[in-house]
Amino acid sequence: QIYGDKFSSCGSMGNDASTEAGVSQPKNEAASAVAEDVRSEIEGGAGNSGIRLFLNVYDLDPTSAGFNNWGLKYNNMGLFHTGVEVLDQEYYFGWGDSTFSGVRSNRPRSHGVHFYRETVDMGFSPLTEDEIDDVIQEFWEAWPELDYHPIHRNCTFFSQQLLAALQAPEPFPEWTHGAAAWGKPEWLRPAADYGW
């Protein structure tokens, strides 16, 4: 299930590193309204057990948002950033030039650079809070920022892997890989690496 279909600014432009865990993010009224709608729907549900998982999707900037709306999304050519929301935090993978972890977090739907677009409900994880913390710690150690690659090891690939590790029951929305997926064939890898 998808919530929202509009983009809105989620804070001031800046370096991804500014959204690391523990750094507060600017409040966004549109994103907050969507979050409240989602929370109300969850709380109204019955018979569910486990911890809820969401995939939050962002347009990279206003220009890419226009192209995504124009039709790139529906042709699997969109340009998106994604983060996994679990236990009231949103985790994503970002680039850097060090061996420190590239796993970062921010308040859900409040990335400091990209523009919130929509939320995809990924169902309930059967893991406990402690088990989820262990998974996130494993990813923290296994995803150094220096390993980021815009085609082969990016934020959408990270989100897909993290949701799988959290045992999300819903299938990952492949459209979020967008244009990056077109560069995945091995015969295109040299060109992608050269450009990066």
Spell out the residues 6+ positions from residue 8 whose beta carbon is closer than 8 angstroms to its own. 28, 30, 31, 115, 116
Whole-model pTM over 0.85: no
Burial (0-12, 13-18, 19+ Cβ within 10 Å), 32: middle
Asked whether the beta carbons of 102 and 96 are under 8 A apart, the reply is: yes
What pLDDT score was predicted for residue 40? 52
Enumerate residues 6+ apart whose C-beta is below 8 A from 46: none
pLDDT tens sequence across 77-118:
689 999 999 999 999 999 999 999 999 999 999 999 999 999
**Tens of pLDDT, residues 26-37:** 344 555 565 556
Collect the ranges in the chain with pLDDT lower than 50.
2-28, 43-46, 183-185, 187-196
Cα-based distances in Å from 28 to 16, 153, 161: 17, 29, 28
Mean pLDDT score of the chain, rounded to an integer? 77
Please answer whether residues 145 and 100 qualify as being in contact, where contact means their C-beta atoms are separated by less than 8 angstroms: yes
